[in-house]
Structure 1
Amino acid sequence: MEDLMLDVSELADSDELIDEIMKRYGQDILQLAFSYVNSKEVAEDLTQDIFIKCYKSLHTYNGKSKLRTWLWRIAINTCKDYLKSWYNKRVLVSEEEPPNMSTKSDEIEEAVIQKDEDSRLVSAVMSLPIEYREVVYLYYYEELPIKEISVLIDTKENTVKTRLRKAKKLLKEGIEDQYDG
């Protein structure tokens, strides 16, 4: 997705700009937040907070980095702040969803098998410590280069590479344990 061209000094209407940013990046930010908190409801709340912070901080965007990088930095910091917060450590969020009903047995069986495999992978990724989970998400899902990930999470490129290797090892072990056990 191409980055939104933005010259803050020429902004005519911040409301229109934030609407455009939300349209372009809303789903991506929601998925990024979910990768940190593992809760749809909390991710939705954090996404709203992230866009409020973005709106309030638009005047600070200086164009030295891509708008997407600037926005992701706000999102990552907001998610990390939430994970450290009293609320996160003390309040339990429930996420019960009604089961889906289908009609064709072959499609149902295939969907169940795929869903099981997907949920095992998601479960394994979400069980990783946050420093591994964030690099896995940014590298494999967002397809960001290691250099950009290092800027986003404020760490060295070699550290990002090491975390990716360690995360892959942990995922492999976790998935093998699931199938063995």
Structure 2
Amino acid sequence: MQVDELSEIYKTYADEVKRFLICLTSNVDLAEELTQETFYQAVKSIGRYNGKCKMSVWLCQIAKHTFYNYLKKEKRDDYSSVEYMMQIGLDIRSTVDLPDVEVARRDTLISIHKEIHLLNEPYREIFLLRIFMDLSFKEIGEIFDKSENWARVTYYRAKLKLAERIDLNEL
């Protein structure tokens, strides 16, 4: 691919990729930095683009992986990043009106939900009660006739187990 073709791709899709990354990061400066890294990675792997999906979808997938690699480098890929990814998917669902971005985010959420449902009990239920119903640890403990501390420790273990199951590079 010629330099002018790559430049045209950047001009056409940079804003869309940046908006996608702003949704993921909630940080404009970081999104700009990751946008540059996304296009760098895209140039390195342009030979693997086969045209089976839209260019914007391909670039958003690269952007998503770039963001996850950033999380790993920042050592934030522990159990809390799973929770962070879930929250991102839930919070920004209505803030982006780009169908390709919605497809990428939806694929990520589906992957995470599949892994959640593979957790053993009581981990699965406690994780779901905490994340989706926003119950306090005291309330979760009451549901299970256990202590607040038991609920907190079990939730922490559920996040660790989920993080072990999810390879951020494959999402």
Give TM-score scaled by structure 2 length: 0.52
Q: Which residue of 1 aligns with 2:31?
A: 43
User: What is the distance in 1 between the residues matched to 2:40 and 2:28?
Assistant: 19
**1:1-181 correspondence runs (5 A):** 11=1, 13=2, 15-86=3-74, 129-134=84-89, 136-137=91-92, 140-144=95-99, 148-149=103-104, 152-153=107-108, 155=110
Look up the SS of the partner of 1:153 in the other structure: helix
User: What is the distance in 2 between the residues matched to 1:16 and 1:136?
Assistant: 38
- What one-letter code is carried by the residue in structure 2 that aligns with 1:42? L
Residue 70 to residue 146, structure 1, CA distance change in 2 (3 Å): closer
Structure 1, unaligned stretches of length 5 or more?
1-10, 90-127, 160-166, 171-181
Give 1:46 shift. Answer: 0.8
Q: Would you say how many aligned residue pairs link Structure 1 and Structure 2?
A: 114
User: What is the distance in 1 between the residues matched to 2:17 and 2:57?
Assistant: 11
Q: Which runs of 4+ in 1 moved over 3 A?
A: 134-140, 149-152, 167-170
User: What is the distance in 2 between the residues matched to 1:31 and 1:152?
Assistant: 18
Residue 137 to residue 28, structure 1, CA distance change in 2 (3 Å): farther
User: What is the distance in 2 between the residues matched to 1:26 and 1:154?
Assistant: 24
- Deviates further, 48-57 or 76-85: 76-85
Give 1:62 shift. Answer: 0.8
Identity level (%)? 22
Residue 135 to residue 22, structure 1, CA distance change in 2 (3 Å): farther
Conserved 8 A contact 2:57-2:100: no
